Structure 1
Amino acid sequence: MSALIQAQHLHRRYADTHAVDDVSIHLQQGDILGLLGPNGAGKSSCLQMLCGVLAPTAGEILINGIDLLDRPQQAKQHIGYLADKPPLYPELSVDEYLTYAARLRKVPKAQLPALLDQAKQRCALGDYAKRLIANLSKGYQQRVGIAQAIIHQPDVIILDEPTVGLDPIQMREIRNLITELGAQHGIILSTHILPEVQAVCNRVQLIHQGKSVFNKPMHEIQQHEKVLIHLQQPPETQALLKIPTVQSIENIDPINTGRYLLSGNNLARSLTQISEYCVAQGWGLREIHLQQNSLEQIFLQLTTGEDSLNNNGLDNNTAQKVATA
């Protein structure tokens, strides 16, 4: 199955600023790709290039096999886009606005009623068809924005900060909608809300200083585990390396000794074994718990050099890695 998006070696320069530097983005049907990065990292430039509103300085973009630069009109028929500020007309009703959006997308007149009903149904807007957009809550205005992005049945949906300004209930509803849409489309979700990415995305790509610095499936991120232990009478490092399934150790608090992060394989299944070993050695086990890798840890490590695993407030230079496999 060919990729819905194949963006290869994208570059974008603004005068002397290299905003996007050799970034490649791929999207398959069923993918929900979380595109992350600090402010000014180049995310918006990447999204604009993928949507065809900003020409890359160099690189190639294929949308469902169609070259976006050579055949922009044909390629854009496969793209639905919701900007961070939905392009709504508050004086129009939901039906009037979606009809207008469909005509802009050159939806055939004979197909328009069916596609209009389908978009409203998928976005739970059926009871609001005659309501003015100005009178809708922000959550339902976001639904209208998503409906205009899917009314022409695109293969690719690009959403830029779709839950900004929503309350927790509205955020959950939009996340559920994104998950449902992901079953039949490929989705790129750009957001600053890391738990949102963990909740709905199956792949994560991080842009920093114009470069792609991280690109992995979500399940691989969640497989990386560490175990924190606090020992009352800690032994020498070499003795700690003999703990079953442990491959490396970090001393996360060298001032107040006894707190370590253990890395290895299948640590989640080995907590009991690790506990029993520490107790049998007489090390005075005071604390043990599993810490899974999170997007926050990865984000901080790659963009600032900080390590949020260090729960004592020590910076990454203080946390000393004392042994490796």
Structure 2
Amino acid sequence: MSIQVHALTKVYGQQKAVDGISFHAGTGVLGFLGPNGAGKSTTMKMLTCFIPQTSGTASVCGFDINKQPLDVKRNIGYLPESNPLYTDMYVKESLAFIAGIHGIHEPAGRIAEVIEQTGLGPEQHKKIRQLSKGYRQRVGLAQAILHNPQVLILDEPTSGLDPNQLIGIRQLITDLGKTKTIILSTHIMQEVEAVCQRVIIVNSGKIVADDTLAGLRESNNGNSLENIFIGLTNNLSGN
């Protein structure tokens, strides 16, 4: 398995943002769901070595997030919800900058390939600050996949995309999931149903469901994913 998580915990003061969660993920697209404040982004930040765990362990491609963070980062692509970009750079220039950081061999060819994959062709010679939110999301996704990582962690990757753009990016995520391990966090249930093979739902820092989509429906009287989500998270979270 590309991702192994065991009893992972993060405590801020008196609050357990993540409370002893354990799961694994291999090739395919894993939907990582939960209400706001459930611990999703905190978990993703620990897996990408942006913040340290309080306790527990996790590994990415066999590398420990605490002991081998550089190796983890080499094997992971991360699109955070905030999608920080250098807005005064041109699109193609920003990708060349990221390629340099990763030491990509023959970067021009790889940059052209990723621009094609993410549909950035018409915008590649613009400054990032001139782009719409949807195209900025595409730049963030392009940066995340540029070094061809084995694992992708995507936090709200389709935020701001119009319906036509959604179809293209969902197809790209589906295609990437054939050979890579992808953790996809989103609040859009149709998106999960379109691209994910398996779903983990977290609430108040704990995992409350971990199953295939079909398995979840079967164990919840055939309800829709939206109704299952509400049923598992509404009472505990008080939302």
Cα distance between partner residues in 1 of 2:139 and 2:235: 40
Flag structure 2 segments of 5+ consecutive residues without an equivalent: none
Cα distance between partner residues in 2 of 1:111 and 1:8: 38
Q: Does the 8 Å contact 2:49/2:69 carry over to 1?
A: yes
Cα distance between partner residues in 1 of 2:160 and 2:195: 18
Aligned partner of 2:145 in structure 1 is 150
Point out the structure with the larger helix share. 2
Q: CA deviation at 1:90?
A: 2.1
Name which structure has the greater RCO, CA cutoff 8 Å, separation 6+. Answer: 2
Worse overlay, 297-306 or 57-66: 297-306
**Residue identity matched to 2:103:** V
Aligned partner of 1:52 in structure 2 is 49
Q: CA deviation at 1:120?
A: 1.4
Cα distance between partner residues in 1 of 2:84 and 2:178: 25
**Which residue, 178, 184, 187 being the options, matches 2:179?**
184
**Which residue, 19, 22, 37 being the options, matches 1:21?**
19
**Which residue, 302, 310, 317 being the options, matches 2:232?**
302
Inter-CA distance 225–158: structure 2 relative to 1 (3 Å threshold): closer
Cα distance between partner residues in 2 of 1:48 and 1:216: 23
Return structure 1 stretches of 4+ with deviation > 6 angstroms: none
Aligned partner of 1:43 in structure 2 is 40
Cα distance between partner residues in 1 of 2:220 and 2:154: 31
**Equivalent position SS for 1:171:** helix
Cα distance between partner residues in 2 of 1:126 and 1:185: 24
Cα distance between partner residues in 2 of 1:114 and 1:169: 27
**Equivalent position SS for 1:35:** strand
Cα distance between partner residues in 2 of 1:123 and 1:183: 17
Aligned partner of 2:62 in structure 1 is 65
**Residue identity matched to 1:301:** G
Q: Percent identity?
A: 43
Larger radius of gyration: 1
Flag structure 1 segments of 5+ consecutive residues without an equivalent: 227-291, 307-325
Aligned partner of 1:137 in structure 2 is 132
Q: Deviations over 1:218-255 (max 9, x none)?
A: 122344585xxxxxxxxxxxxxxxxxxxxxxxxxxxxx
Q: Deviations over 1:56-105 (max 9, x none)?
A: 1111111111112111111110000011122222221111000111222x
Cα distance between partner residues in 2 of 1:72 and 1:37: 26
Q: CA deviation at 1:154?
A: 0.4
Worse overlay, 120-129 or 142-151: 120-129
Aligned partner of 1:107 in structure 2 is 103
Q: Deviations over 1:36-74 (max 9, x none)?
A: 111111111101101111111111111111112111111
Cα distance between partner residues in 2 of 1:140 and 1:76: 25
Cα distance between partner residues in 1 of 2:175 and 2:134: 17
Q: Does the 8 Å contact 1:175/1:196 carry over to 2?
A: yes
Aligned length in residues? 236
**Equivalent position SS for 1:304:** helix
Aligned partner of 1:240 in structure 2 is none
Inter-CA distance 222–301: structure 2 relative to 1 (3 Å threshold): closer
Cα distance between partner residues in 1 of 2:134 and 2:69: 32
**Residue identity matched to 2:110:** L
**Equivalent position SS for 1:114:** helix
Aligned partner of 1:254 in structure 2 is none
Cα distance between partner residues in 1 of 2:123 and 2:215: 41
Q: How does 1:121-270 map to 2 (within 5 A)?
A: 121-223=116-218, 226=221
Q: Does the 8 Å contact 1:10/1:59 carry over to 2?
A: yes
Q: Considering only aligned residues, what root-mean-square deviation do their CA atoms show, in Å?
A: 1.8
Q: CA deviation at 1:123?
A: 1.2
Q: Does the 8 Å contact 1:221/1:294 carry over to 2?
A: no
Cα distance between partner residues in 2 of 1:54 and 1:294: 35
